[in-house]
Amino acid sequence: MSFIERQLDPSDILGELLFGLIMVLTLTLGAAIASGYERGLIVAAIGCNVAWGVIDAVLVVMGSRYARHRHGRLVRAIRSARGEKSALAAIRDEFESGVEVESRPEDREQLYRSIHAVFAHARPRRMTLGKDDWLTALAVFVLVVAPALPAVLPFLVVDDPHRALRLSNALLVGLLFVVGYLWGRHLEIQPWLAGIVFTAMGVALVAVAIALGG
C-alpha cells in the first residue's frame, strides 16, 4: 500500500478499487442470477479484471500525459505572450475555470503574477514516458485486479460451488461498504452513510451492467 499511496492520491485509490469491485461483481452476481456456475467463473473473474486493469492503466497514463501537455502549453503561452498583460490573461483563462473556492480578486491577481514570474523563464518537460508513469500504471493495475482475489477465496475453501458463489458475492458487497466507509472518512462525511450509499450505488451499477448484457 505504501507503494500505491506514493503514486496515487486516496480518492484515485478508492475509485480504482470501486471500479474493480464493480467489474468482478458483474460476473459473480450475473452467474448467481442465471444459476449457471462453472469452474471457469474463477478464471473469467480474474481475466476480466486483468484485462480492464491493463486498459485502465493505459488510460491513466494517457491522462497524465495530457495534463503535462496542458501545463507545457501554458508555459509556452506565457513565454510567447506579448507583454505581461497577455501572459496574465493566459494564466487567468487557465486557472479561473478550475478554482472551486471563493477568493478576493486581488489575491488571485497576486497568485497569477507569481505564476508568471516562475513560468516566464521555465521550459516544458519533454513528453516522454518516465519511471513515475510506469509505476502509476502498475499501481492502477494492482488496484483493479486486487478485488478479484477475494472473490476467488470462497471457491478454494468451500466444496459446494453454489454456496461458494453466495459467499463470494456477500464478501464483495461487504467490500463495497468498506470502500464507501473509507471514502467517507477521506471526504470527512458520515462514513457509515457513505458506506451504505456506495454499496447501493455499486449494486445498482452492477444490475445495470447485467441488464445490458455487460
pLDDT for 54: 92
Q: How far apart are CA 58 and CA 45, in angstroms?
A: 20
pLDDT for 99: 57
pLDDT for 205: 74
Residue pair 142/18 in contact by the 8 Å Cβ criterion: no
pLDDT for 210: 63
Q: What are the helix (H) ranges across 120-160?
A: 131-145, 148-157
Tell me: the pLDDT tens digits for 182-204? 888 887 888 899 889 888 887 78
Residues 6+ apart with CB under 8 A from 19: 52, 56, 144
Sign for the pseudo-dihedral over CA of 208, 210, 211, 212: positive
Residue pair 175/50 in contact by the 8 Å Cβ criterion: no
Q: How far apart are CA 182 and CA 201, in angstroms?
A: 15
Residues of the chain short of pLDDT 70, as ranges, are 1, 29-42, 96-103, 124-127, 209-214
Domain boundaries, the chain: 2-211
- What does the CA dihedral 198, 199, 202, 206 come to, rounded to 10 degrees? -170
Backbone phi and psi for residue 102, each to the nearest 5 degrees, phi listed first:
-85, 135
pLDDT for 37: 52
pLDDT for 1: 62
